Amino acid sequence: MSIEDRLKATAKNIEGKVQEAVGEVTGNPQDKAEGQEKQAEAQVQHSVENVKDNIKKAID
């Protein structure tokens, strides 16, 4: 488990939520879409870390 990678994913998720909200408020669909994309990337990063953790547990 890499705490640093999890923190980066969490930060990207928060950044995406903020960008999506700004896009919603300003009516900018591109910002909204980019924010959603960042959230999806963060979710994938979290999933990868979960897989790594499960593999490490299985090996131990």
Domain coordinates in residue numbering, the chain: 3-59
pTM of the model: 0.85
For 9-25, write each residue's pLDDT tens digit.
999 999 999 999 999 99
For 26-38, write each residue's pLDDT tens digit.
999 999 999 999 9
Instruction: Give the distance, in angstroms, between the CA of residue 2 and the centroid of all CA atoms in the same chain.
Output: 15
pLDDT score of 1 = 53
Please spell the DSSP secondary structure of 26-56, one letter per residue.
HT-HHHHHHHHHHHHHHHHHHHHHHHHHHHH
